[in-house]
Every structure is written in structure tokens, then in C-alpha cells.
A and B are shown apart, each in its own frame.
Chain A
Amino acid sequence: MDAILSEPRVDRPSAPATPAVLAQGVSISFGEMPALSGVDLTIQHGDFVSLIGPSGCGKTTLLRAIADLVQPSAGTLLIHGAAPHEARLARAYGYVFQAPALYPWRSVARNVMLPLEVMRMPKAERVARAARYLDLVGLGGFGRKFPWQLSGGMQQRVSIARALCFEPGLLLMDEPFGALDEITRDGLNLHLHRLWRSTGLTSVFVTHSIQEAVFLSTRIVVISARPGRVVQVIDCDLPGERDLELRETPAFLAIANRVRAALRDGHSYD
């Protein structure tokens, strides 16, 4: 476990040969119902990859398969070169759910400490980590509050701090801002982008918002309607440091239009 925790965050220039996530011909079905079929995907270290597609296309299912929360029925799936099950046991990823999923009986700081407790980290270190990561998501000083005293956006930031605090090599996010209002969502997108810029943490982000995907990502994976297939992988080579104003620029809109076209193609596959 110590090896995982002390593993340095790898930036793209020095990326090792083993990809962060490698999927080859991954198919997933629930009983007779196919959810994903033949997905090939490579995610490099330091990438911010968005999975975008219509509702029910299996993008969440793909993320859950990476997290070992569902099992592929066919194909190969490797996380840091290991099977998802082993990656989960090695605590290789942090997962942010659609809802904050905070435990209401725990204070904000103790919610962030939850994974550290499970991993049996000494108390002093737990307290220090919780304070550091709450600071990182802009919630320093809120540690003693309880979840119900925070707004939805703040709660989701707590859940991001909780996913980051044990310093995993991979961050998986499942429509984390889907339930929030537009302005809060903009603010959190900017915050998440700066967080990713400063840490270089490999991230996989599920969304159905084109704008969100283009703003955050280095690459966008467009998935078709059920059963989900990868329609197209679009490189998102916008400048490194991004601002919300970027969304009005022609370069941004051009990429957004390509994503929209790919999504439309995906729909017609039905």
C-alpha cells in the first residue's frame, strides 16, 4: 500500500509505456441486455479523458468496469497493467459518484478521512491529509460542519477531496456535477480543471454535457447509444491553462461541433 501511496504522479512527457487504462474488445451485458460492445480504449498517464454519450449508452458502466464494480463479459481490461480487481485491492483509483454519497453521521473532515481509516492510516496523518485536501478543494475551515449544512456543490467538492486524499494514481468521476445548477457547475469545472493542471492526475470523467467535456478534457471518447460502442476519440488540443471565456472561442466551438456530430452519428447507429 505504501508503494501506491508514494507513487509519484507522472506527467505526460515522462509517461511510462504501460497505459493508465487499457481496454481491448470490452463487452458488458446485464443478462440478455448488452450495455457495451467491443470497446477499445487507451488512456495514457496524465490524460483527462471524458466519456460522453446519450443517456443509457453504457458510459457509466464502462467507468464502473474500470473500478471493478461490474465485470466485463468479454475482452481485456487493464488498469496500470493489472486486472481491475487487483487495481481495486491496491487502491489504485479514487471514485466520485453521481451523488456526493457522504455519510450523514460523519463531519465533513471525518468523511474525507473515511478511506484513510479503511486503509488504517495513523490518526495524525489522517487529520493532516483531511485538512490538506479540504484546502485543495477550497473547503478549508469546513471540516467540522456536517454534510447537511453544505450546499450540493460543496458536498460534491468534499467527495472529490475524499477521492483524492489517499493519493490514488487515477481519478474516476461519474457525472459528478450532473445534479448541480449551471453557475455552480461552471465554477466546479474551473476548479476541477485547475486541480488537474496542478496535479497532473490521470482522470476519467463521465458526462453528457458537450461543453463540460470539451472544457475539461485532453481527449473525448464519444460513445454511441445502447449497446455502447466507441464512435470516435477526439483530441482536445486547446491551450493548457483554460478559462471559462475559452468556451466562446472558435477553436473551442469547432471541437464542440465535432463532438456533437459524432454524438449524432452514434444515435443513428440504432
Chain B
Amino acid sequence: MTKAKRIAIRILPIPTVLLALLIVWYIAAIFLNADQAQSLMDPDAPQGFAAVARATLSMDRPVLPAPHQIAASLWDSVFGWPILSPRNLIYHAGITAGAALLGLAFALVLGIALAVGIVQLRVLDRSLMPWVIGSQTVPVLAIAPMVVVVLGNLGMTGVLPKAVIAGYLSFFPITVGLVKGLRSPDPMQRDLLHTYAANEAQVLTKLRWPASIGFLFPSLRVAMSLALVGAIVAELPTGAQAGLGARLLAGSYYGQTIQLWAALLMAAFVSLAGLGAIALLQRATIAARGGRL
């Protein structure tokens, strides 16, 4: 196989799927918007398929906006305004991403503390683990308004309640992954430290923690996505003026479907950027460990 061929095989699948997706999207947009477009058209104008189709792809508030409309809106809201303007989508993405990152930091602190506690102390294993699992059965949509109200009464507004909700949602995969990782060393690896008369803290830092790093990265990926979901959901009940959640809410209130989709796409980009950062961190860790995690 030639080199060009190999590269083609690696790269081609992504644009192929994208192309298929776009075709399906355009067809869906034409059919979903047809009724509305027809009712808005000049009754005297010709109403052939081509004319209706053209109209469905250039509406102000379509049921399903066409990809090029979303792209144009995204382009305009990113490059058409100063970066700190509330009409710039990057500004909103930054606010949500900040809350998600702070929430992820909370989740890491809480997740690591819980996992170490659960692994080191049998009492905590019995008493805390059911609560950790139970905490995830409560829907975040129910928790979010309560957190906002309670923290608001304590004088905490803005990024903090959002970060708390994001952290609440994302600590769970970190705790579960780390508990598994901290327990992963085999008896021989533990006996070895025992023969050196190592203390518990040394067993944790020299064996359990480094052994759990491989388990941390998958957890971190899930936690990152959940933190972003948490931050967006937290912006819905707060009536926030800024953030991707606020844009989504405003878009659905006023039937601004194009704005809604643009915000949605931006959220996906933020999530991808987060996953990319974690991938880079993982690559650096692997390099520092001589090529294996």
C-alpha cells in the first residue's frame, strides 16, 4: 500500500460521514420547513419544488435551520463582534467553560479525597460509597435550582453556584475510577513495600497513586463532559445573562432556532477542546513514563 493510500484511508472516513450527515440534514431541513415556508411565500409567486426548497433554506426562524445558516450565524457571532461583547459567542463559551473548569477542579479535589478515604479507611468504604452512588441518582435538574437558591442566600452568585453544580455532577466518575485505580496494585507489589517497612503514606504515594494514573484519564474525560453539562444546566434556572446555557434558553424562548443551534455547536467545540487538552496531558504523562501509561 502506498503512503498516499494509507493517509487517505486514515483521513477519508471523517469527511465522508460529514458529507452524508450534511446531505441528510439538508433533506430534513427542506421537509421540516416546507409547510411553514409555503405559508410565508407570496401566493402569487410560482410554488414549484425548487422555489419552495430555496425558501426553506433561507428562513429567519426555521424549524430546522440549514447547516450553512448555522455556520453563518456561528461565524458572525464569533468574528462579527468584539470578543467581550455579549453578542459574541466566544464570550459566552468562555463564561461557561470557566464555570466548568472550576467545577472540574472541585470535582478533582472532592473525587481524590473521597477515593483515598474510601481506599485507606474501611469505615469510609462501608459508609460513604452508598452515598456517593446515591448522589448520582438525584437528577441534576432538581439539584441545580436548590443549589443556586441556597448559595444565593449565602451571598454567592455568579460562577460559584455553577461550578458547584458542575462539580457535583463530575466528581462521581473521578471517585469511582480512582477507587479502582488505587486498588489495582497486585499483592506482590504491595508485599514489596511491606518488606521495606514502608508506612501507609508511602504505600499511597509510591504505589497506589502512580498505579491509578492509568485509570484517571478515562475518568477525567467523562468528568470533563459532565462538568460542561453541569455548567450549562446550572445557567438555565439562574436566569443567567451570559453563558452558553443562557444563549440556549434565550434561543428557545424567542424561537431563534439558528442561534440555538449555533450555541449548541459551540458547546460541542468547547467539549472537544477540553477532550483535546486531556489527550495532550495524557500524551505528556505517557512520555514521562517511558512510553506506557
Contact = CB atoms under 8 A, between A and B. Distances in A.
Interface of A: 67, 69, 88-91, 93-95, 97-99, 101, 103-107, 114-115, 117-119, 145-146, 148-149, 166
Interface in B234-293: 289-292
Given A114-B206, A118-B193, A101 B188 contact: yes
A3 B206 CA distance: 25
B230 to A, nearest CB: 32
14 contacts: A88-B195, A89-B197, A97-B192, A98-B188, A99-B188, A101-B188, A106-B210, A107-B290, A114-B196, A114-B206, A117-B206, A119-B196, A145-B290, A148-B290
Interface residues of B, number: 20
A95 B195 contact: yes
Given A97-B191, A146-B290, A146-B292, A118 B198 contact: yes
A117 B196 CA distance: 10
Given A99-B188, A101-B189, A118-B202, A93 B195 contact: yes
B207 interface: yes
A81 B80 CA distance: 84
Contact of B194 (A69, A98, A106): A69
Contacts of A149: 290
A103 B196 contact: no
Name the residue among A90, A93, A104, A148 with the largest chain B CB count within 10 angstroms.
Answer: A104
Contact of A91 (B189, B196, B207, B213): B196
Contacts, number: 60
B293 to A, nearest CB: 8
A52 to B, nearest CB: 22
Contact of A118 (B188, B206, B213, B291): B206
B188 A103 contact: no
A105 B210 contact: yes
Contacts of B292: 104-105, 146, 148
Contacts of A89: 197
Contacts of A105: 210-211, 213, 289, 292
Contacts of B195: 67, 69, 88, 93-95
A98 B188 CA distance: 9
A124 to B, nearest CB: 20
Contacts of A145: 290
B137 to A, nearest CB: 35
A97 B188 contact: yes
A166 B198 CA distance: 14
Contacts of B210: 103, 105-106
B282 to A, nearest CB: 13
Contacts of A146: 289-292
Q: Max chain A CB contacts within 10 Å: which of B195, B206, B213, B291?
A: B195
Contacts of B291: 146
Given A95-B195, A104-B289, 15 more contacts: A69-B195, A91-B196, A91-B197, A93-B195, A94-B195, A95-B192, A101-B192, A103-B211, A104-B292, A114-B192, A114-B206, A118-B196, A118-B198, A145-B290, A148-B292
